[in-house]
Structure 1
C-alpha cells in the first residue's frame, strides 16, 4: 500500500471503511467496475470482469494472491492481472494509493507490468 501524497494521476474511489469483512469492495470508474481487495495487508485494484465469460471476480474465491472467477474458476493474480492457466488471459490492474482513510487508484488505463 502506497501511503502519502499521490501524484495527479490518482483519483479517490472509496474509503477504507467501504471494504467488507473479506477486504473487498467494487467501485465504478466511468463504466468500468473495479474491484478493491486487500491481500496480506496490501490493497490491490483490478478489473472486476473475467475476460472468459464476464464473471464478477469480486464474487470469486481468493487463494493467496489468486482470485478465481466464480463461473469457471479461472485464477487471476491480483498483483499482476495474469492468469497462470492461460498466459494470454489477463485483467487490467491499477496502481493503488491510500491517503488517510481514502483509497485512490491510478486514473490512467495503463496496465501495470510488475
Structure 2
C-alpha cells in the first residue's frame, strides 16, 4: 500500500458520529485517534496517553485541555503539549471539516515525545 503525501487529508468520520460530548475515536494508519469538538472546532489527537496508556478520549476536558482518565495528565488538544510535565506531549493531526465530513491528515510531522 502506497503512503499518502503529508498534505493529503483522508475522511475519518462525520460530524454526526461525534457523541453528545463532541467526541469519537477513529483509526488512522492503525493508530487510535481521538476526535474532540470544542466550540465548533474539531481537533484530532492520539488517543493513548504516553504515561500509562490511558484512553484520552475518555478523559475530562477543561477548555482545550484533555486529561487522561488514569492519572489526570493534561494535554492541550491544539498543540499536544502537556502544560505541567516538561517534554510530555501527544501527537496531533491537522483536521478539516468538509460539509459534514471530518478529514484528518495522517502525517503531520508532529510526533509524541517520551
Q: Normalising by structure 2, what TM-score?
A: 0.88
Instruction: Identify the residue that residue 10 of structure 1 maps to in structure 2.
Output: 9
Question: Matches of residues 26-65 of structure 1 in structure 2 within 5 Å?
Answer: 26-65=25-64
1:85 aligns with 2:76: no
| Consecutive aligned runs of 4 or more in structure 1 exceeding 4 Å deviation | none
TM-score between both structures, scaled by the size of structure 1: 0.88
Q: Distance in 2 between matches of 1:107 and 1:94?
A: 6
Mapped partners of 2:97, 2:39: distance in 1: 16
- Gaps in structure 1 of 5+ consecutive residues: 1-6
Deviation at 1:8, TM superposition (A): 5.5
- Are the aligned partners of 2:59 and 2:66 in contact in 1 as well (CA < 8 Å)? yes
Assess if the C-alpha contact under 8 Å between 2:60 and 2:69 holds in 1: yes
Give the whole-Å Cα distance in 2 for the aligned partners of 1:98 and 1:41: 11
Deviation at 1:109, TM superposition (A): 4.4
Q: How many angstroms does 1:41 deviate by?
A: 1.3
TM-align CA RMSD: 1.5
Q: Which residue of 2 aligns with 1:71?
A: 70
Change in Cα spacing, 1:51 to 1:8, as seen in structure 2 (3 Å) is closer
How many positions carry a matched residue from both structures? 106
**Structure 2 gap ranges (5+):** 1-5
